Copies of this chain bind each other. A is one copy, B any other.
Amino acid sequence: MKFTDGRRRVVIEDVTPQIDAGSHPVRRIVGDEVQVSAAIYADGHDLLAARILYHHRTERRWRSAPLKADGNDVWRGSFPVDRIGGWSFTVQGWIDRFETWAHDLKKRLDAQTTGRGLNISAAESDPRDIALVFRSGAMLVHEASLRARGADARRLLDAASLLDRLAQDKTTPYEYPFSPEIHQLMATYADLRRATEFEPELPVMADRERACFSAWYEMFPRSASAIPGQHGTFADVEKQLPQIARMGFDVLYLPPIHPIGRAFRKGPNNSAVAGPDAVGSPWAIGDREAIPCGIGNVKQNDDCGGHKSIHPQLGTFADFDRLVQSAKTHGMEIALDIAFQCSPDHPWLAEHPNWFQIRPDGSIQYAENPPKKYQDIYPLNFESADWRRLWGELYSVFEFWIERGVRVFRVDNPHTKALPFWEWCLDKLNTKYPDVIFLAEAFTRPHVMYGLAKRGFTQSYTYFTWRNTKAELTSYLEEITRPPVSEFFRPNFWPNTPDILHKTLQEGGRPAFMLRLVLAATLSSNYGIYGPAYELTENRPAKPAPGKTESEEYLNSEKYEIRQRDRNAPDSLVPLITLLNGIRRANPALHANESLRFHAIDNPNLLCYSKSTANFGNTILIAVNLDPFHEQTGWTDLDLDAIGVLAQRDFAVEDLLNGKNYMWRDRRNYVALQPGIQPAHIFRIVR
């Protein structure tokens, strides 16, 4: 009941951070201080006290952290999330009876000495009043002593006795009787019986650092063989690990590794007819005949050949386990692609036809976007009457691979699976395996994208690929790197993917690949590329679909065929990538996005921005030429506060891309950038 004790006079409102009235957690990194604010007030003029109550979800006892008044009834404080996983916090406020009393007493004592000057009448400076106030105080301190133990209790009891004695002492003027230590003790043993607690408790998810700082490399294992024409294996990928690690990537992300359906298999360039050698799309998941159930090292389950199986041509579970281990020794993690959809040969179609939509003729509904049919793909039906078992099975897919050592997942098209499912599934997984990272491939409308992030995805793909102009980049980045979005949504910027070769890259060629790489790697602390197509600046698009004039698909897309490439070919971007990843690692300013600020520069083709750690320990100032064709020049108008530089002063900058040093001065400085040669300045401000 709201009014069980009407004497709780303190009101608490506007507690931050919170998302949708506490329905979803804000996301932080383990070790962060969570900054908390709240409006806390009561009637009248009593002094208040307040604190944060917080605990890790697994802890029974609440911990507390102080809140301090910051003017206009707003209180601020912070608490550390020193363990990975889910946390809760709330705010507690109460009337600080003792400080109110002390404040009142001090005013009386002041008046006692200055009273005559202020024209206070005799009655008003009556020392008997002060004696009464001393007695009230003695009662407060005595009560606190009953809440304390041991030495503290004795000290408070002594303080109460002192006040009582003073109250009886008729010698005036009185003096203020208490030391700061007594005030500290009174705060420690505050009377919380009528404290107000904000409801509901607000959730915070503390992720590991890689959740917000990671460099991803996507590659198709089947293209990894060094022998021309041969299907690549996990062992072939293993051989490339040293080079990928040298480039500076943290996460090696593999498209689905499961058996690929045979029925309606797609041929090269997404052709409806596949030749006998066609390898098919890894996203057409499932071939129940590829993996004999319960044989060999595959456990007995009703998913043989499905999401818990490995495509036989890639290798065995032992090969996979070795790859996972080997990646670790190179400081990388393997990310799996979880695509909850089935080929016609997936075991779920046979075992659980009720997990799919059934057509009136009893057949299972394949994917359609009328009039187009995608008969190689069967979507799951989240309105299945058997939804509980479906949810359980999908959850178990993640758990299966987690138990095999996978800690990073890229989730395919999460926006075509029910949001309540993700909320349930990711909460369960985040609770049990808080170190697991989920990247949502949600190329969809903003509300849906953000809705998925709120429901537990650690990172998300973004619209970065389609944000190319200065205005587009500025407004998008300002949206996603600031509250409320930044509280729950962590961008991961991809200049390309196997599905998306943007026009900018198609037309801008190598200089465009360079500038988009710099943008992705520095605007967003999480970024990734699909290689070796990126290193090799592959930019030939597929033939446009009938009726269209453009395509964002790759020509001879690796989605449908094996593409063996040499990422060390002449003109490869490997050196630039290696340099950029090195710069990212060495400069903590680039490990997060919240400090991102754009700076004015008087050329629409130049983008200028900075990132900084707290107190400007590390500050990176970047200028990028967005035009892949022409040199662009311009004058900055720097926001000096954002980079911790004083007005009218020289400051040294080191260009981390070419090692050169410059002296800059004040707000206005000259920039000239040549596409393909020097696409950007990445300045570290030398302090």
For chain A, residues 121 to 141, give those with C-beta under 8 angstroms from any C-beta of chain B: 121, 123-125, 132, 135-136, 139
Chain A interface bracket (under 10, 10 to 19, 20 to 34, 35 or more): 35 or more
Q: Which of B7, B121, B139, B391 contacts A382 (CB 8 A)?
A: B7
Residues of B within 8 A of A6 (CB): 382, 387-388, 391, 418, 420-421, 424
For chain A, residues 403 to 436, give those with C-beta under 8 angstroms from any C-beta of chain B: 415-421, 423-424
* A652 interface residue (CB < 8 Å to B): no
Q: Which of A77-85, A443-451, A527-535, A634-642 contacts B (4 or more CB under 8 A)?
A: A443-451
* A479 interface residue (CB < 8 Å to B): no
Name which residue of chain B comes closest to A74, CB basis.
B447
* A471 interface residue (CB < 8 Å to B): no
User: Given that A13-B447, A132-B360, A419-B11 are contacting pairs, would A115 and B72 also be in contact in the complex, using a CB cutoff of 8 Å?
Assistant: no
Evaluate contact between A360 and B417: CB separation under 8 angstroms. Answer: no
* A586 interface residue (CB < 8 Å to B): no
* A272 interface residue (CB < 8 Å to B): yes
Residues of B within 8 A of A124 (CB): 371-373
* A59 interface residue (CB < 8 Å to B): no
* A229 interface residue (CB < 8 Å to B): no
Evaluate contact between B448 and A371: CB separation under 8 angstroms. Answer: no
Residues of B within 8 A of A43 (CB): 382, 415-419, 448
Q: Which of B73, B423, B446 contacts A72 (CB 8 A)?
A: B446
Residues of B within 8 A of A118 (CB): 371, 546-547
Q: Which of A103-111, A170-178, A204-212, A506-514 contacts B (4 or more CB under 8 A)?
A: A103-111
Chain A window 539-582, contacts with chain B (Cβ cutoff 8 Å), 1 for yes, 0 for no: 00000001100000000000000000000000000000000000
Name which residue of chain B comes closest to A451, CB basis.
B11
Evaluate contact between B111 and A371: CB separation under 8 angstroms. Answer: yes
Alpha-carbon distance A382/B7, docked complex (angstroms): 6
* A41 interface residue (CB < 8 Å to B): yes
Alpha-carbon distance A41/B447, docked complex (angstroms): 8
Alpha-carbon distance A104/B448, docked complex (angstroms): 22
Residues of B within 8 A of A42 (CB): 418-419
For chain A, residues 319 to 350, give those with C-beta under 8 angstroms from any C-beta of chain B: none
Alpha-carbon distance A418/B95, docked complex (angstroms): 12
Alpha-carbon distance A369/B104, docked complex (angstroms): 8
Residues of B within 8 A of A420 (CB): 2-3, 6, 8-9, 11
- The smallest beta-carbon distance between A108 and chain B, in angstroms, is 5
- The smallest beta-carbon distance between A532 and chain B, in angstroms, is 33
Most B Cβ at <10 Å: residue of A44, A95, A118, A423: A44
* A263 interface residue (CB < 8 Å to B): no
Most B Cβ at <10 Å: residue of A2, A370, A373, A387: A370
Name which residue of chain B comes closest to A358, CB basis.
B136
For chain A, residues 355 to 380, give those with C-beta under 8 angstroms from any C-beta of chain B: 359-361, 368-373
* A383 interface residue (CB < 8 Å to B): yes
- The smallest beta-carbon distance between A151 and chain B, in angstroms, is 27
For chain A, residues 10 to 25, give those with C-beta under 8 angstroms from any C-beta of chain B: 11, 13-14, 20-21
Evaluate contact between A125 and B371: CB separation under 8 angstroms. Answer: yes
Alpha-carbon distance A421/B9, docked complex (angstroms): 9
Residues of B within 8 A of A104 (CB): 368, 370
Name which residue of chain B comes closest to A361, CB basis.
B132
Alpha-carbon distance A108/B371, docked complex (angstroms): 5
Evaluate contact between B9 and A419: CB separation under 8 angstroms. Answer: yes
Evaluate contact between A120 and B371: CB separation under 8 angstroms. Answer: yes
Chain A window 236-267, contacts with chain B (Cβ cutoff 8 Å), 1 for yes, 0 for no: 00000000000000000000000000000000
Chain A window 217-249, contacts with chain B (Cβ cutoff 8 Å), 1 for yes, 0 for no: 000000000000000000000000000000000
Alpha-carbon distance A9/B419, docked complex (angstroms): 6
Evaluate contact between B370 and A108: CB separation under 8 angstroms. Answer: yes
Residues of B within 8 A of A615 (CB): none
- The smallest beta-carbon distance between A23 and chain B, in angstroms, is 8
Residues of B within 8 A of A370 (CB): 104, 107-108, 111
Residues of B within 8 A of A451 (CB): 11, 13, 41
Name which residue of chain B comes closest to A39, CB basis.
B447
Name which residue of chain B comes closest to A416, CB basis.
B44
Residues of B within 8 A of A369 (CB): 45
Residues of B within 8 A of A359 (CB): 132, 136
* A630 interface residue (CB < 8 Å to B): no
- The smallest beta-carbon distance between A203 and chain B, in angstroms, is 14
* A184 interface residue (CB < 8 Å to B): no
Extra 9 A-B pairs, beta carbons < 8 Å, given A9-B382, A124-B371, A136-B359: A3-B420, A3-B423, A6-B391, A6-B424, A42-B418, A43-B416, A112-B371, A119-B547, A123-B373
Shortest 9 CB-CB distances between A and B: which pairs?
A: A111-B371, A135-B360, A21-B21, A107-B370, A73-B447, A119-B546, A9-B418, A7-B383, A108-B370
Could you list some 15 contacts between A and B, CB below 8 A? A3-B424, A6-B421, A7-B384, A7-B418, A8-B420, A9-B418, A41-B447, A41-B448, A41-B451, A43-B382, A74-B447, A107-B371, A108-B371, A132-B360, A135-B360
